[in-house]
Amino acid sequence: MPVLDTSLIIDLIRHKPEALRVLETIEMEGLTPATTSITILELYRGAYLSPSPEKNLEEVEAITKHLIIENINDETYRIFGALSARLRKEGKPVGDFDELIAAIALGSDSEIVTRDHHFEGIPGLKVRRYSNVVYT
């Protein structure tokens, strides 16, 4: 199952062509898109920090109501602990939220769909990168 990362959902909200194409490809492959509860937290934080919170909250809710939400479960705790410790010992941490998103995806044998390259350094994680363009 493809797990849409925060970067992709933000690009969907911004109607970026690359993001729209990757979502269309996922749907054409017959896959059901998902995201994580952690991604939802990040999206709400971003909406409240934006100059137009009400508009952005509506956009977040409009998109996320169509996604399966992958949550933290008992397996996630162990995967996160081992993954986070390993990345820190190797000097390659990617941040608690992204490590938790990766742990949720690893626990459900899902792939992360993102434009962020740092997920590619997570052992065993399947990553579908759709663009390396950064939008401001």
- Residue 72 and residue 41: Cα distance in Å, rounded? 13
pLDDT at 131: 74
Would you state the structure tokens that stand for residue 123, as one six-digit string?
């052992």
pLDDT at 133: 54
pLDDT at 135: 46
- Residue 136 and residue 134: Cα distance in Å, rounded? 7
Residue 119 dihedral angles phi and psi, to the nearest 5°:
-65, -25
pLDDT at 136: 47
For 56-78, how does the pLDDT look when each residue is reduced to its tens digit (9 = 90+)?
Answer: 999 999 999 999 999 999 999 99
Residue 96 dihedral angles phi and psi, to the nearest 5°:
-60, -45
Write out residues in the chain with pLDDT < 50, as ranges.
135-136
Residues 62, 64, 68: CA angle, nearest 5 degrees:
140
Domain boundaries, the chain: 2-129
Highest CATH level, class, for 2-129: alpha beta
Q: Considering only CA atoms, which of 94, 108, 103, 113 is closest in space to residue 24?
A: 113
